[in-house]
Structure 1
């Protein structure tokens, strides 16, 4: 829901023409490069640890380690369970599933949710497209046919991918998130990274199975974008809300404390169900809010993933 008659406000996408989009994307690229490279120092920065395929050294088994990585010869020789470390592939293929449904045209804080989707895609691109890595995307366009952007290596190609995402024509209605995720399962590809960026407002049972299927072959990251007004209502009297996907208009009396409490409880239950389904699918889960420093949140997430890798876990 968005407030009736309220302007979309400034953002990374929207009106202003291709020249404005180019300027905003250039500024965004500079922001991402400076902050991520400044805070994430080290060799071969990765978005997800990933099990890799290149054999590395062995270490002692720890609870939570993948038993498929057991190093049986070393275990037999030492009589202590060991697992084989693996080195992440240097040539990685990353695919984005970018949900641009009409519900993303909403924001009551520093960003629109759609802006945050583009920003997250830019950050993922920066973190993955290096050393010959390729990045591609499938873009949900509301009720329209999803757009597939082929995976190509190189920073210029990644910037072109972002421009194509920003310029994608979106139709009214909600994208079928399950079908969008399933596009990453077809055709079958070698193991890589899959990133799903959405507000995940589609019922979890519609996208849970495709996410689980995707996790069987790839390292999956789910980036959930949230606006604070989706979690609780402020006490501002009667407000008119418009459903951006259907155009339906509703008037809500926010001065009613019982209504605000029921809204917060329902929103909390909805987000809990989303988080549970993502955990069940085996995906790493990153939540970005329109009222917070999304880049700092992403830095903390990547740093936590790297720390988990040094402790022998990947989640």
Structure 2
């Protein structure tokens, strides 16, 4: 039985995100994602004027005169959301927790999908697969996706992105637009990310809290790793310690972003003390510009 406050929260997220889809992202989703996919329809005889790049050389050699492969635009897309629900997602020092920000972002993408008659599915994961919702259409289905983002009880504590990418490749046979939503605090997953992005269109959505980027000067504090349980006493009043922390985090971010770039994965950065609207609009704008360039 879902608690009453969670049901109310689902309703609030539904109202807020559906408005943003209509008012802010109307048309942008469709212009960026629609028409990206094509599927094979048939082989037919070559007609003068056809693009010679479409010639099926195997059939041509077998029959003795030119044949081409005919493709049609794939109008229905599959949107998959891979959502990190590990213990580190339950962190937040400002307006909200990372998990709440991720839930709103996922809801916007889910509503955008059904508004354009696409299917949407979700896999929640930690250091294991927590839940799989197969891609479907309809408002009722999207509400199930939203419920899963807001009301999940993960068994695992850590984060294993290799695990979700491997599972995703097994259960999703059709190419999908895939939003991988995480803080990416995970063992190395670069090799599998590279392989998976060759078949699917993966967009990495990084979810961060300001305190994860820079320590505030708050004196001596006790810090605990949410995923491992390890504790440490840190003197945050020390400028040297804060500088070392900042440099370490920046190095990790640079390495992570290089990995995304090497794999050809687009990135959307969202942070708990700011709206996700501007980063998402920037993503749509950048993609649209790239598509226009061909």
Name the TM-score, length of structure 2 as normaliser: 0.82
Quick check: 2:178–2:203 contact (8 Å CA) kept in 1? yes
2:74 matched to which residue of 1?
89
Cα distance change of structure 1 residues 39 and 52 upon mapping to structure 2, 3 Å threshold:
same
Quick check: 1:32–1:295 contact (8 Å CA) kept in 2? no
Following TM superposition, by how much is the alpha carbon of 1:191 offset from its aligned partner in structure 2, in angstroms?
A: 2.0
1:191 matched to which residue of 2?
175
Alignment partners' CA distance in 2, 1:279 and 1:236: 36
Q: 2:88 aligns with which of 103, 117, 121?
A: 103
Cα distance change of structure 1 residues 215 and 43 upon mapping to structure 2, 3 Å threshold:
closer
Residue-pair matches, total: 267
Cα distance change of structure 1 residues 43 and 105 upon mapping to structure 2, 3 Å threshold:
closer
Which structure has greater helix proportion? 2
| Counterpart secondary structure, 2:206 | strand
Instruction: Report Cα offsets for 1:35-58 as digits up to 9, x if no partner.
Output: 232123438625647732179xxx
Cα distance change of structure 1 residues 156 and 201 upon mapping to structure 2, 3 Å threshold:
same
Alignment partners' CA distance in 2, 1:146 and 1:130: 27
Cα distance change of structure 1 residues 92 and 172 upon mapping to structure 2, 3 Å threshold:
closer
- Answer yes or no: is 1:287 the counterpart of 2:269: yes
Quick check: 1:146–1:180 contact (8 Å CA) kept in 2? no
Name the TM-score, length of structure 1 as normaliser: 0.77
Following TM superposition, by how much is the alpha carbon of 1:167 offset from its aligned partner in structure 2, in angstroms?
A: 2.4
Alignment partners' CA distance in 2, 1:49 and 1:91: 8
Instruction: Report Cα offsets for 1:210-256 as digits up to 9, x if no partner.
Output: 21122111111110101111111111111111211122222110111
- Answer yes or no: is 1:132 the counterpart of 2:114: no
2:131 matched to which residue of 1?
147
Alignment partners' CA distance in 1, 2:180 and 2:35: 16
More divergent stretch after superposition (237-246 vs 170-179): 170-179
- Rg (Cα) greater in structure: 2
Following TM superposition, by how much is the alpha carbon of 1:299 offset from its aligned partner in structure 2, in angstroms?
A: 2.3
Cα distance change of structure 1 residues 246 and 298 upon mapping to structure 2, 3 Å threshold:
same
1:174 matched to which residue of 2?
158
